[in-house]
Amino acid sequence: MYSKEEVRELKKEFWTNFSQQYPRKWLLYDTKIKDFSFKFYIDNKRIEVLLAIENKDLELRKIYFQKIESLKSILEEEFLNDVLFDEHFLLDNGKEISKIWVEKEHISFHDKNKWGEIYSFFYEKMNAFERFFYEYEDYIKDLETNV
């Protein structure tokens, strides 16, 4: 079992190594859409690359989710064949968001021997998500064009 300090240091080492192996600027929060961001997630059981739509305006959040959902077959066939969708995903803190993600279970960042596998997953999946976003960015951002 790791102490909180050890976990903090391990996470710091993990992300430092990741940024050194894949030295590029990721899109993440720079989508130019409020509360619409790409994220890496990791814990001691699974890893995820996700798109979080966290807009407090439920109608706006619904529109963005439905726009991505309307592109689901393209997203699956051309970018991420294992993508998952949840319009009403509940975070541990009770906040509801819309979430689109890919995951790999039964893998822990605590196991340094798995870091290469995790880094490859993160790179491959986030790169695919970003390519999808850039390809359909105009449609996603255009609130005048409804699904």
pLDDT at 2: 81
What is the average per-residue pLDDT within 26-48?
A: 95
Residue 147 forms part of a structural domain? no
Residue 73 forms part of a structural domain? yes
Residue 120 forms part of a structural domain? yes
pLDDT at 81: 96
Supply the pTM of this predicted model.
0.93
- Looking at the DSSP bridge assignments, the partners of residue 49 are 40, 102
Give every CB contact of residue 122 below 8 A, 6+ residues apart in sequence: 18, 22, 40, 47, 49
In the predicted model, is pLDDT for residue 91 greater than 70? yes
Q: Do 116 and 39 meet the contact criterion of CB atoms below 8 Å apart?
A: no
- Domain extent at residue 85: 4-141
Average pLDDT, whole number, for the chain? 95
Structural domains of the chain, count:
1
In the predicted model, is pLDDT for residue 147 greater than 60? no
Which stretches within the chain are classed as H helix? 4-21, 58-70, 72-74, 115-141
pLDDT band at 56 (very low <50, low <70, confident <90, very high): very high
